[in-house]
Structure formats: C-alpha cells, structure tokens
C-alpha cells in the first residue's frame, strides 16, 4: 500500500491552518520589507540621504535584532502557553504593526517604516518557537520530514510571492497606498487562519517566565549544549542563515549596479532562489525515504559551495561581456538574452535547491533529538544563534565591501567560508559524514528496499545481528536505521585506508579473536556493554568473517556473551542481494562480479521481530537470520 504524499497534510486541520498562518506571515514580512528595499534602492533621494547599499544591509539586521533580544522569552512563552492561543496573539500584533507601517507609507515617514521592520521582527521572533514546536506535536515521526519540507516550501513560496508583489506594487502610481492596504489585508487573512489551528497543549505549563531575557538566553544555549548533536545542528542551521542573509542582501545592488537591471531583475533573482529552496525542501522527503536523513546535510553543503563559487565565475564572465550595458537598467526579460545570464540564474537556483537539502533535515533532527519538554526553548536558542549569525553576516558584508571587494568576490568568499565551516562541523559530528556516505551508496550503486525497518527501535539499547556479505554491510544497515549504530568489526578493517577512517569516524568497536589478541577481544566486550548501558544500538556480525561463498557461516558464541552481560533485546536482520558486490569476497573475477547485476542493482534489508535476551542463542539467531534471508544471496 502506497504511503500518503506529504501534500495530503494540506487537507488536514492538524496542519493546514498552521501552514496558511505561517505562509501568510512569511508573505507579509517580505511584502513589506521588499517594498522598502526597492524604494530605498531605486528612489533613495526621496526617502534617505544614506547610501543604498548601507541601508539594504541594515534593514535585515534591524529585522532580526529582536531575535537576539527576545527569543529566550518567546521560547518560554511557547512552552508555557497553548500554541493556538499564542499564535492568535501574534497575528493580532502583526495587524497592529501593519497599521503603524501603513501610516509610514502614507506620510512618507521613514522612521515609522523602520519601526515596522523592527515590529515584524518581534512578530517573527515570537512565532518562530511556536512554528517548529507545533510540528512534532501534531505529526507522526514518519511525517516529520515531509511536514518540514512542505512548511519550508510554503515559507519560501510566501517569501517569493511577497517579494514579487512588494517590488511590483511599490513602483506603481500610488504604490505606497497599495502597499499599505495590501499588508493590512494580508495580516487580517493570517489572523483569520489562526483561529482554525487546533488545540496544541503547552509542553511546560508550570514554567515561570523569566524577566531577565539576557540571562534566559544564556541558559537556553547552555541547556542545548548538553546535547552535542543538537547544539552542533543548531550551529549548522545558523550558518545557513549567515550564508543566505549575506547573499540575499546583495541582490538589490547586484541587480542594479552589476547586472545593469531594473527592479524586475532583483525580483527575478529572488524568484529563482526562492523556487530553488522550495523545490529542494520538497525533494527532501523523496530523497530521504520519509525518514530524517541527515546524510542530505553534507550533500547540501557541498552544493552551496560549488554553486557559490560558480556564481562568482559566472558573474566575472558576465561582466566581461556586458560592458556595453554600463549606465543602463534593462528589464528581466531583456536581460535573459544576455550571454552568461542563464548560467547566473542556474547557479542561484541550485544554491536554493541545495539550501533546501541542507536546512530541512537539520530542522527535523533538532526536533526529534532535543528534550520534548524543552523544544520551544531549544528553537528559541537556535533563533538567538540565527540572529547573531545574521547580524554578523550584515557586519561582514559591510566590512568586506568597505575593503573594496566586489559583490561577486563576496559571493566567492562566502562559498569558501561555507566549505571551511562545513568541514569543521562534520568533523565534530561524524554521524553526518557516515550518513552521507550511506546515502550515496544506496542512491547510486544500489536500489535499497528496507522491509520492516520500523522494528529497529527508535530509542533505548538493543543488539542488531546480521549476515556478513561485504565490506559495505555496515553502511547499508546504518542508512536504514533512524539513529546511529555502534558496529563491532574485525580490527583488520580499521587498517584499510578509506574504510578504516570511515568506521573509526563512526565510533565502530574493533574486535579480535582470543587466540590473536585476547586483550582487544575483552576490551571490545567491555566497550559493547558500555555502549548498551548508554542506550546505544550495537550491531555485530556473528559469523565473524565475510562469506566467501555467499552462504551464511555458523554464528559464533559472542552474541551469547553480550546478552549475558547486558539483558537487551536482539534484532535479527538479513541482507539480500549484496553477494557479488565489488567489496564482497569471492573467487571469481572481480570485474565480472562487479558488473554482473548492473548499475542500480536491487538490494533488500529485512528486519525481524525482536528476540528476548533469554532466547538469543547463536543457533536461534542463525535460524532467524537465515529465514529472513531466504534463497536470495
């Protein structure tokens, strides 16, 4: 039976009203901000005496300043107050802010519009923790990656439509009147949608809200640091917002002064980027197999650097052939005919797509790995970090541009910084790299089908046992698991140049036969017991060696020794279809063996029912695994 598509959530009350509320909020934020940026960039003389590039970098900074100041308080409110009620308060606040901003538009009063920017920053600060704490309350774990993908798609489509309408409305005759009316109307629609959000109980109703926002901010971040994977994922998330804010803030001046376009070119760049993020976000469910697949995060990071670098190269190439346009400002459709412009748009699109691959799994990982009673405050802590990184991005852009860097050079510097930061974070959390390699394996060489993978426990200790067919068995099993696995592996594997590094990085446990190294064997059993005591999954291959015939070897007695020390359930599993792989062991010609099944060969991982520790004898487990494997090697 096919599983429901992620878009089916849009027909359900537990998701749809929330989706449209956040969509309209993102739409209105950008309807307002983009109109202000366009006015400042293309009609600065009537609004301000400051340089347009300075103002366009300051506006995003002013918008996210409330995240620094009020995110901790917002997180406490979201954990203490029922989420539908809090959302309705936020929407009433938005309506009031847009009325004040409307007065600014009608009277040409810039400081009222700046107050509106700060006010919408406060609105988004309060709604942020509600937004990402609501999803894990209302969605099942297997729906979470799809729900986050649709939410991110909706957010960026809302951003896109808001940017387009904001840029178009404000340059029309009586554009400021149209802009004021549109923002108030959208705020009213968002308020109406919020009244349909179902009851979502607070996770900590007894919580006392601290009056010291600064101290609470420090406490939130310190609490999140206790969970290393969550905290580093928060930093990775914040880095994406640094990257995105720095690049997007340059688009108005880049479109006007570098591409020699009018405001429609700015809108085109935003459109392509937003469509890319939306497409990448939606593709995450397909590419992840409906589970939280953090292997997509390194994939996304690689794309952000590769296409960021190519955007620089494409911009340099475009400048060389566009000197005749200097001093002119042509429209988007005319500009498309210019040599080199399609490549620039392709790079912007791909940056958006790979940004979606990067951000959606990180959001889902934070949601499922953090303490449920502290989820809103964790999201608030992340918003504080996001705000600090975005403020830093504005500062970095101002400094680098002030030092004489061109905007394309700024794109290049950002892409190179992304590569360095990604390598650093992924070296601190090897799980990302391991899952990336696993994801590559099962999406390039093999078509992997997991049977009853939900029998792998989502939490708590267990021992996994499986037949041993090839050197990549551990990678395939790791890709099917919803959480990290500690593999017990022959110590000789750790001496291999690439595989040894992979398995050391994944914290695999080396073991040796007693006759070869009794100390290492005993240490392995101690490490296994410690891992199970800490609640980890441990996987062993009880045959003790790779099969050289494709048939299973007898199971040795190590599994009995493990469960005798630590009484945990044992999960039998069987790999089917890996025999004949390049990294399996057989007597026939290696090239014949490699190409026998062809590219994208089929592979199954079948998972059996848990076996109680008192029944987990080598003989019983051998029979279970053999039955799961069947006749297919």
Look up the CATH number of the domain holding residue 194.
Answer: 1.20.1250.20
Count of H-run helices and E-run strands, the chain: 21, 7
| Total length of the chain | 633
More confident residue, 49 or 185: 185
The pLDDT, as a whole number, for residue 345 is 93
Give the count of domains, the chain. Answer: 2
Has residue 368 been placed in a domain?
Answer: yes
Tokens of 230: 């969550």
Rounded to whole angstroms, how far apart are CA atoms 196 and 193?
A: 6
356 and 315 both lie in a single domain: yes
- Across the strands, what pairs with 603? 448
Q: What percent of the chain has pLDDT over 90?
A: 20
> Does position 471 have pLDDT exceeding 70, yes or no?
yes
The pLDDT, as a whole number, for residue 170 is 80
In angstroms, what CA-CA distances link 176 with 37, 97, 115?
Answer: 13, 16, 16
> Does position 123 have pLDDT exceeding 60, yes or no?
yes
Has residue 211 been placed in a domain?
Answer: no
Q: Which helix (H) or strand (E) holds 495?
A: none
Has residue 192 been placed in a domain?
Answer: yes
The pLDDT, as a whole number, for residue 593 is 45
When pLDDT is averaged across residues 76-92 and rounded to a whole number, the result is: 90
511 and 363 both lie in a single domain: no
Of 59-73, 85-99, 322-336, 529-543, least confident by mean pLDDT is: 322-336
Choose from 16-25, 473-482, 486-495, 588-597 the range with maximum mean pLDDT. Answer: 16-25
The pLDDT, as a whole number, for residue 623 is 93
> Does position 293 have pLDDT exceeding 60, yes or no?
yes
394 and 504 both lie in a single domain: no
Contacts with 390 (C-beta within 8 Å, 6 or more apart), sequence order: 60, 61, 64, 67, 241, 242, 245
- Across the strands, what pairs with 571? 464
Structural domain that includes position 91 = 6-201+217-428
The pLDDT, as a whole number, for residue 633 is 63
> Are 235 and 385 contacting, i.e. CB atoms less than 8 angstroms apart?
yes
> Does position 553 have pLDDT exceeding 80, yes or no?
yes
Has residue 209 been placed in a domain?
Answer: no
Q: Give Dmax (Cα) for the chain.
A: 88
223-280 pLDDT, tens digit per residue, is 778 877 788 888 888 888 899 888 888 888 888 878 888 777 887 888 888 888 888 8
Choose from 31-45, 151-165, 242-256, 563-577 the range with maximum mean pLDDT. Answer: 563-577
The pLDDT, as a whole number, for residue 481 is 79
Chain mean pLDDT for the chain: 81
Rounded to whole angstroms, how far apart are CA atoms 260 and 255?
A: 6
170-191 pLDDT, tens digit per residue, is 878 888 889 999 999 999 999 9
More confident residue, 633 or 30: 30
51 and 185 both lie in a single domain: yes
389-411 pLDDT, tens digit per residue, is 887 887 888 888 888 888 899 99
Rounded to whole angstroms, how far apart are CA atoms 95 and 120?
A: 10
More confident residue, 597 or 14: 14
Of 23-27, 467-471, 629-633, least confident by mean pLDDT is: 629-633
Q: Would you state the torsion angle of the CA atoms of residues 249, 251, 253, 258, taken in this order, to the nearest 10 degrees?
A: 140
Last residue of a domain, one of 406, 428, 450: 428
Tokens of 329: 């400002």
469 and 526 both lie in a single domain: yes
Q: What percent of the chain has pLDDT over 70?
A: 86
More confident residue, 495 or 178: 178
> Does position 45 have pLDDT exceeding 80, yes or no?
no
More confident residue, 549 or 633: 549
Last residue of a domain, one of 389, 404, 428: 428
Contacts with 397 (C-beta within 8 Å, 6 or more apart), sequence order: 57, 246, 249, 250, 410
The pLDDT, as a whole number, for residue 46 is 57
402 and 458 both lie in a single domain: no
Has residue 433 been placed in a domain?
Answer: no
Has residue 435 been placed in a domain?
Answer: no
| CATH code: domain of residue 562 | 3.40.1130.10
506 and 375 both lie in a single domain: no
More confident residue, 379 or 154: 154
Contacts with 11 (C-beta within 8 Å, 6 or more apart), sequence order: none
565-602 pLDDT, tens digit per residue, is 889 999 999 988 777 665 566 555 444 444 455 555 67
Contacts with 511 (C-beta within 8 Å, 6 or more apart), sequence order: 488, 489, 490, 491, 520, 521, 524, 558
415 and 463 both lie in a single domain: no
88 and 146 both lie in a single domain: yes
Has residue 127 been placed in a domain?
Answer: yes
Contacts with 406 (C-beta within 8 Å, 6 or more apart), sequence order: 258
More confident residue, 505 or 253: 253
383 and 528 both lie in a single domain: no
187 and 159 both lie in a single domain: yes
The pLDDT, as a whole number, for residue 501 is 74
Tokens of 115: 């107050």
370 and 459 both lie in a single domain: no
Has residue 156 been placed in a domain?
Answer: yes
Last residue of a domain, one of 370, 396, 428: 428
Rounded to whole angstroms, how far apart are CA atoms 280 and 286?
A: 10
């Amino acid at each position: 039976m096919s599983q429901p598509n992620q878009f089916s959530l849009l027909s359900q009350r537990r998701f749809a009203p929330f989706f449209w509320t956040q969509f309209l909020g993102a739409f209105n934020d950008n309807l307002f901000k983009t109109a202000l940026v366009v006015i400042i960039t293309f009609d600065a003389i009537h609004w301000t005496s400051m340089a347009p590039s300075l103002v366009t970098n300051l506006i995003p900074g002013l918008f996210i300043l409330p995240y620094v100041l009020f995110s901790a308080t917002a997180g406490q409110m979201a954990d203490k107050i029922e989420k539908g009620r809090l959302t309705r308060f936020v929407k009433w606040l938005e309506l009031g802010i847009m009325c004040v901003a409307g007065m600014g538009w009608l009277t040409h009063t810039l400081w009222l519009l700046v107050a509106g920017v700060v006010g919408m920053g406060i609105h988004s600060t309060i709604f942020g923790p509600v937004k990402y704490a609501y999803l894990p309350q209302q969605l099942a774990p297997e729906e979470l990656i799809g729900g986050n993908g649709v939410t991110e798609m909706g957010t960026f489509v809302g951003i896109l439509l808001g940017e387009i309408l904001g840029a178009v409305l404000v340059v029309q005759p009586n554009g400021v009147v149209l802009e004021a009316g549109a923002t108030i109307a959208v705020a009213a629609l968002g308020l109406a949608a919020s009244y349909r959000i179902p009851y979502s109980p607070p996770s900590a109703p007894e919580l006392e809200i601290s009056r010291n926002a600064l101290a609470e901010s420090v406490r939130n971040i310190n609490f999140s640091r206790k969970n290393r994977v969550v905290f580093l994922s928060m930093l990775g998330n914040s880095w994406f917002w640094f990257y995105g804010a720095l690049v997007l803030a340059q688009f108005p001046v880049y479109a006007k002064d570098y591409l020699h376009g009018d405001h429609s070119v700015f809108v085109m760049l935003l459109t392509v980027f937003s469509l890319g993020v939306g497409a990448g976000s939606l593709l995450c469910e397909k590419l992840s197999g409906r589970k939280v697949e953090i292997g997509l995060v390194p994939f996304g990071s690689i794309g952000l650097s590769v296409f960021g670098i190519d955007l620089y190269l494409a911009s340099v190439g475009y400048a060389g052939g566009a000197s005749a346009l200097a001093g002119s400002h042509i429209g988007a459709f005319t500009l498309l005919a210019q040599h080199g412009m399609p490549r620039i748009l392709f790079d912007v699109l791909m940056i958006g797509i790979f940004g979606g691959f990067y951000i959606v799994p990180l959001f889902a990982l934070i949601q499922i790995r953090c303490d449920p009673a502290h989820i809103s405050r964790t999201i608030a802590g992340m918003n504080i970090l996001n705000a600090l990184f975005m403020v830093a991005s504005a500062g970095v852009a101002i400094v680098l541009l002030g030092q004489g860097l061109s905007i394309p050079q700024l794109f290049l510097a950002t892409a190179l910084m992304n590569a360095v930061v990604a390598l650093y974070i992924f070296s601190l959390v090897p799980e990302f790299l391991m899952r990336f390699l696993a994801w590559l394996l099962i999406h390039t060489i093999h078509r992997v089908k997991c049977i009853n993978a939900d029998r792998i426990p989502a939490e708590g200790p267990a021992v996994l046992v499986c037949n041993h067919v090839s050197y990549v068995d551990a990678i395939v099993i790791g890709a099917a698991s919803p959480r990290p696995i500690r593999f017990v592996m022959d110590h000789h594997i750790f001496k291999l140049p690439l595989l040894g590094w992979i398995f050391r990085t994944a914290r695999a446990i080396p073991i040796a036969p007693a006759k070869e190294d009794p100390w290492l064997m005993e240490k392995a059993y101690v490490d296994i017991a410690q891992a199970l005591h800490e609640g980890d999954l441990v996987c062993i291959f009880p045959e003790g060696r790779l099969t050289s015939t494709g048939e299973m070897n007898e199971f040795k007695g190590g599994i009995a020794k493990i469960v005798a020390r630590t009484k945990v359930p044992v999960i039998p599993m069987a790999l089917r279809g890996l025999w004949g792989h390049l990294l399996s062991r057989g007597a026939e010609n290696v090239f014949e063996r490699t190409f026998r099944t062809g590219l994208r060969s089929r592979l199954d991982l079948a998972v059996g029912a848990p076996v109680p520790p008192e029944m987990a004898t080598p003989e019983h487990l051998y029979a279970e695994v053999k039955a799961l494997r069947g006749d297919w090697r």
